[in-house]
Structure 1
Amino acid sequence: MTTDTKGKDLTERAAALVGLLRGNAARTEEGRRVVEENIEALAGAGLFALTVPGRFGGHQASVRALLEVSAELGRGCGSTAWTTALVNVCAWITALYPERAQREVFGEDPGARVCSVFTPGGTSRAAGSGQVISGRWPFASGCLHAQWALLGTPVTGAAGEQLDRGVALVPMAELAVEDTWHTVGMRGTGSHTLVAEDVFVPGHRILSVSRALRGEYPTEFTDEALYRAPFVPVLASVLVGPQWGMARGGLELVTASLAEGRPLSHTFFTRAREASSTQMQLAEAAQLVDTAGLHLMRAADDIDACAASGRRMPLRERARVRMDTATVARRSREALDILLNLHGAGSFTEANPLQRLWRDQETASRHAMTNPAVASELYGRALLGIEEQVTPLI
């Protein structure tokens, strides 16, 4: 766990909210949005401001602290943890923009929250010093609680030619939210579709993706280490903090159930905890959870060390972070699968929180950025020194 004082304090704040989140998990799922009681508690604890610059009253905490906080929250509610993690990574991205854009977001409202869809969508046309964008952007996690949005968009020239791929920072007041998030897992994230119709975005609120991938950010505050962190490694790692937390939450629930002394059905064991099969499965699940955590914290420490040094993270290290994050997703999912086998068919009753953790984990771990097959291929290519890669997102 984190050793820095700020990170330890923030993680303890998150741990103190686990009971509340766990108690509200069913309502969050049924309402298909994080309940306001959770949002208010998170805001009150300062957990939406983990990556907001200290200049605006934020914590400007480490990536490791962000991942540990989201993992703690994941023990209680996957949707709430995911929403919190995504809002924080969007605050981090906002802090990469020029100060003028940062001030428009956080200077006006230090508690402003930002959501995002990075997949390029819609159309754009050059207009003065900016772009006019239109289109639909699905899967905007946290959009129901955000005041701003980051949208992947082409950047075009006067003749309509594409010059770059950008991320446009747009007020939510200029967008419509289309209710499209109907899923079996992570229902509470409210990851609906954002719609823009001829929205003008000034140039200072468009981040160049090609430059960001090279670690070139337009923020003037180059002495702030957090905002020197490598782009894709940060984006990938934040997706699996909540997943590690969900696996930990499942392990806690099953261990507590076994401690209560329930029997092992259709056997002579009146207490399932006394069966070697129970002990072995529990140990295997715990080891998978530990493995996930070790990979996640290695990735976090690599990112933070790189940011502190000011150097650009080499391709091989960036590829390893992608591999680490995929490993966290896979091992967390495998751990929950074993825990469900251990707990039995009762895990799938609607009253049992394990089935929600399982559905949330199964959904979250399929995010394209944590695809194990893709991560394995790009890491293998990096290890072999093969220049041609399968994705620019490394």
Structure 2
Amino acid sequence: MKNDLLMEQSTIIKELLEGAKRIGELAEREAQEAEKNATVSENVINLIKETQISKIMLPKKYGGPQINLRTFAKIVRIVSYHNVSAGWLTYLYPLHNILPAYLPEKGREEIINQGGLICDVFAAVGKAEKDGNGYRISGKWDFASGVNYSDWVGLGVKIHFSDSSEPEVCLPMLKRSEVKVINNWDTFGLRGTGSNQVIADNVYVPMERILRLKAADATGRPPEEDYDKDYPLYHVPFYPAFYLGFPNIALGGTERLIEEFKKATENRIRLMDGIRESESPRSQRVLAEITTQLHAADALMDKYFALLENSKRGRWKTKRSEYFAIRTQIIKNCTDIAVKILLTLGGAALYKGGIIELMIRDILSVATHKTSLIEDALAAYGKDLFGFDSGVRG
């Protein structure tokens, strides 16, 4: 029986990885259209749904295969190898679909059983006013990745509950039909993510659809006692687990970028000396350096997973700032590689439309996300190393 279950799981994982490759290849073929439209196409979204990748992190009660975090990251990395924007959404859709898993059962059932995609903005820039057994939500939020194809939108607010000493960041889950979307996503990179602005005006949200992030982070589980103990995202630190996709997006794109650099360099002859670059110590050294940097980033990612896995047994012993520092160092390695490739290839890497130019822009854009800012991460980690409380959430 155990062997049958292992074989079944192995088959599911194989199908998911093959599905990730199909999503990535489709997005790569449509990359220029996505650049023009500032969003991936509905074709890509439909394939994310068809492959069931949008549901891979749901609890098994709701049909999720409950794959482990390493497999989830591998799926994200495969898609990002072909197209970073598609990798971003292939990470965020199944990730955001886990949010109902931390809601009270009534809210969880409503959202998951509806079956739509979820996007969110964690920044608590909105307002919440008490109204009966719920709150009225208003505000304006930027960077709602994938909102054009979502049915639900989680929007960050601060709420002061009667059982709490101070206001806490919450994520009310609103119906997409209840908010206004402003198509303002006109950016340097990650254009295919369609990360547009969302406006809510006095939208009522019942309490069962308001995710209390502080409680989810503190306990690593939903509010009821009878819950799925095998769910891979319970009993690990909420934010460090939630953010694990960003470095894997960068790793997937960087792996492809190095391969493209090697191909572009092998037969290149520089006019200044007439030497084939593959035979030159210059490019040989660059290829060795960036490949080694990628190996170092891979090793850091493995360390990150080990810390998450150990947290299930050791109960949150790793400082949140350490997770933050590891993630951002991985992404810095990737951005350093991208810049090195750009400066080594020179003007040939500047022309729009090529895979190298697109990957460089997108990898640099991943590094601008608020959870990827290395100066913030190192300042926090250094504070914790000296025994002060950095206060970061992961």
Fold match by TM threshold 0.5 = yes
Q: Which residue of 1 aligns with 2:282?
A: 277
How much has 1:152 moved relative to structure 2?
A: 0.8
The amino acid of 1:69's aligned partner reads I
Does residue 219 of structure 2 align to residue 215 of structure 1?
yes
Contact 2:142–2:198 (8 Å) recurs in 1: yes
The amino acid of 1:312's aligned partner reads R
How much has 1:157 moved relative to structure 2?
A: 5.7
Q: Which residue of 2 aligns with 1:341?
A: 343
Q: List runs of 5+ in structure 2 lacking aligned partners.
A: 1-8
Q: What is the rounded CA distance, in whole Å, between the counterparts of 1:225 and 1:382 in structure 2?
A: 30
Post-superposition Cα deviations, 1:234-257, rounded to whole Å, max 9, x if no partner, equal: 233222221111111111212223
Name which of 353, 368, 371 aligns with 1:369: 371
Q: Which residue of 2 aligns with 1:314?
A: 317
Q: List runs of 5+ in structure 1 lacking aligned partners.
A: none
Name which of 253, 262, 280 aligns with 2:268: 262
Secondary structure of 1:75's aligned partner:
helix
Secondary structure of 2:219's aligned partner:
coil
Q: Percent identity?
A: 22
Q: What is the rounded CA distance, in whole Å, between the counterparts of 1:298 and 1:94 in structure 2?
A: 29
Q: What is the rounded CA distance, in whole Å, between the counterparts of 2:230 and 2:198 in structure 1?
A: 32
How much has 1:207 moved relative to structure 2?
A: 1.5
The amino acid of 2:256's aligned partner reads G
Contact 2:125–2:157 (8 Å) recurs in 1: yes
**Where do 1:118-137 residues align within 5 Å?**
118-137=122-141
Name which of 252, 255, 260 aligns with 1:248: 255
Q: Which residue of 2 aligns with 1:291?
A: 296
Q: What is the rounded CA distance, in whole Å, between the counterparts of 1:289 and 1:173 in structure 2?
A: 43
How much has 1:15 moved relative to structure 2?
A: 2.9
Q: What is the rounded CA distance, in whole Å, between the counterparts of 1:57 and 1:10 in structure 2?
A: 14
Q: Which residue of 2 aligns with 1:81?
A: 87
The amino acid of 1:257's aligned partner reads A
Does residue 242 of structure 2 align to residue 239 of structure 1?
no
Post-superposition Cα deviations, 1:268-289, rounded to whole Å, max 9, x if no partner, equal: 21x3211111111011111112
Secondary structure of 1:344's aligned partner:
helix
Gap change, CA 1:78 and 1:320, over 3 Å in 2: same
Post-superposition Cα deviations, 1:306-363, rounded to whole Å, max 9, x if no partner, equal: 34x4x532242x3221111101110010111112223231111113221111111111
Gap change, CA 1:167 and 1:113, over 3 Å in 2: same
Q: Which residue of 2 aligns with 1:302?
A: 307
Q: What is the rounded CA distance, in whole Å, between the counterparts of 1:9 and 1:379 in structure 2?
A: 39
Q: What is the rounded CA distance, in whole Å, between the counterparts of 2:65 and 2:175 in structure 1?
A: 23
Gap change, CA 1:268 and 1:182, over 3 Å in 2: same
Q: What is the rounded CA distance, in whole Å, between the counterparts of 1:240 and 1:145 in structure 2?
A: 24
The amino acid of 2:357's aligned partner reads Q
Q: What is the rounded CA distance, in whole Å, between the counterparts of 1:297 and 1:42 in structure 2?
A: 26
Gap change, CA 1:281 and 1:275, over 3 Å in 2: same
Secondary structure of 1:48's aligned partner:
helix
Name which of 55, 59, 64 aligns with 1:53: 59
The amino acid of 1:377's aligned partner reads A
Query: Normalization by structure 1: what TM-score?
Result: 0.90
The amino acid of 1:338's aligned partner reads K
